[in-house]
Amino acid sequence: MTAPFREASIDLDAIADNVRHFRRLTGVEVIAVVKADAYGHGAAMAAVAALSAGATRIGVAEIPEALELRRQGVHAPIMAWLHAPGERFEQAAAQDIEVGISSFDQLEAAATAAAVDRPVGVHLKFETGLSRNGIAPADWGRVLAEAARLERIGRLRIVGLFSHLSNTSAEDDRAALAKFEEGVAAAASFGVHPEIRHIAATAAAIDLPEMRLDAVRIGVGLFGLSPFDDRSSAELGLRPAMTLRGAIAAVRRVPAGTGVSYGYDHRTDRDTTLVLVPLGYADGVPRNASGKLPVSIGGRRFVNVGRIAMDQFVVDVGDTPVSIGDEVVLFGDPTLGVPSAADWADAADTINYEIVTRIGPRVPRRAS
C-alpha cells in the first residue's frame, strides 16, 4: 500500500488525553490555546477535541482567529489578546469573543463596541515583567477606575485578570506573580472582582503550583509536547498529537562518489541507495537541519544527506530494501520509535513549538 504523499495526522484522542491530564494535575479551568492554527495542528478540530475533554475556554492570539473558530461552529467562550492597532472590536462583540485588554484605548474601544444590554467580556492584562503587551503598572489606577465604571453601566463584563510569564526561572516567575497580585489587589480596591485570574501557560502549570490560580492557559502541552529542554513528553505524561509523514517519491541506486542535492554538500562514500522524501522547507522542514535531520523508514532511523530543498530532501538508506510509496515518518510520538519534534528541534537549533507550528499549508492535516 502506498503511504500518503504528504500528511500530518493529528491524534485528537491524544489532545483530549492531554487536556484531561492538565485538568487532573492542576484542578483548575483549562483554557485551550489554539493560536496559529493550533500550533499547526488545525485550530477547529483541536478546539473541539479540547472542549470535549473538559477545557472550558479557548484562547487565541487574534480576533480573526477567534472569528474563524466561530465560523467553524465553536460556541464555547473564546478569548483573544493581541490586537491590530486601532482594532474596534465590533465583530468580536457581535460574536461574543472575549477581549484581552492591554491599554486604556483598547478598553474604551471594547466598551464602545458593546450593544445595548450586551456587555463585552474582557480580560485585563497586567504587564508583570515580560515587556510585551499588558497594562503598565503606572496605568493600572486609571484603567481599573474606568473598567469599573464601564462594568457598572453595563458596557463591559470583567471576566478575567491575567498576565504571562517569562519562564526565566522560578524566582523570576514568582516576582511576576507578586506583581500580578498587586494588580489583583488594586482591581479589588476599585470594585473589580473578576471571575478568573490566570497567569500560567504550560511550563508554569506543570512546575509551579502556586501559579495555577483559577485557570491555566495550555498551548504546547495540549499537543503533547514538552515546554522543557530536559524533559520529554512521556516524562510529563503527555502524548504528542502530530505525526508528519510522506511517501518515498523516488529510489535510486548509486555508486560511491555520487553528489547529492544542491551544491553537492554530500557525496556518497560507497555504493548505496538514495530515497527522495517529498517534503521541503516550503512544508516546514528546516533547511538549517540539512545533513542532520532524523527520519524513520521501515522502523529504522536515518539522517538526511545533502541540502534540504524547497519541496524535497534525500535520505541515504544504504542497502536497506525500499520501494517507491513506502512510508517515511518524519516525526511523531518517540515512544513508537520515531523521531520526536524535539529531535527535529535539536537538529535545527530551535524549539519543538516552532517545528510543529511551521508545517506548511501544502501538508494536509488529517484527524486520526
Known binding site: residues?
132, 310
Question: Where does this chain touch ligand PLP (CB under 6 A) — which range of 13-21, 67-75, 152-160, 218-226?
Answer: 218-226
Judged by CB under 6 A, the residue of 129, 160, 219, 294 near ligand PLP is 219
- The pairing of strands 259-260 and 215-218 is unpaired
Least Å from the CB of residue 304 to ligand PLP: 28
Q: Is 35 a catalytic residue?
A: yes
| Phi, psi at 201, each rounded to 5° | -95, -165
Annotated catalytic residue, options 39, 262, 264, 292: 262
Query: Cα–Cα distances in Å, from 100 out to 56, 159, 186, 210, 249?
Result: 17, 10, 18, 23, 47
Binding residues for substrate: 132, 310
Q: What grid cell was written down for 335? A: 515512544
Q: Residue 79 or 120: which CB sits closer to ligand PLP?
A: 79
Judged by CB under 6 A, the residue of 57, 123, 217, 307 near ligand PLP is 217
Which bin fits 216, alpha (ψ -120 to 50), beta or left (φ > 0)? beta
**Interface with ligand PLP: number of residues (CB under 6 A):** 13
Query: Contacts with ligand PLP in 154-173 (CB under 6 A)?
Result: 164
Helix ranges (H only) for the chain are 12-26, 35-40, 43-52, 63-71, 90-94, 104-113, 140-152, 170-189, 202-207, 341-348, 352-357
Does 43 contact ligand PLP by CB under 6 A?
Answer: no
Q: What grid cell was written down for 125? A: 492584562
Does 33 contact ligand PLP by CB under 6 A?
Answer: yes
Q: Residue 59 or 306: which CB sits closer to ligand PLP?
A: 59
Does 227 contact ligand PLP by CB under 6 A?
Answer: yes
**Euclidean distance between CA atoms 224 and 243, whole angstroms:** 11
Query: Cα–Cα distances in Å, from 154 out to 114, 116, 121, 141, 150?
Result: 9, 8, 11, 20, 6
The closest alpha carbon to 146, from 179, 180, 115, 112, belongs to 112
Site string for ligand PLP, 178-207 (x = CB under 6 A): -----------------------xxx----
Query: Contacts with ligand PLP in 242-281 (CB under 6 A)?
Result: none
**Euclidean distance between CA atoms 102 and 333, whole angstroms:** 38
Question: Where does this chain touch ligand PLP (CB under 6 A) — which range of 44-52, 211-219, 275-283, 323-331?
Answer: 211-219
Does 220 contact ligand PLP by CB under 6 A?
Answer: yes
Query: Contacts with ligand PLP in 71-100 (CB under 6 A)?
Result: 81
Annotated catalytic residue, options 35, 125, 281, 353: 35
Q: Is 39 a catalytic residue?
A: no
Question: Where does this chain touch ligand PLP (CB under 6 A) — which range of 62-70, 216-224, 265-273, 305-313?
Answer: 216-224
Q: What grid cell was written down for 221? A: 502541552
Catalytic center residues: 35, 262
**Site residues (CB under 6 A) for ligand PLP?**
33, 35, 81, 164, 201-203, 217-221, 227
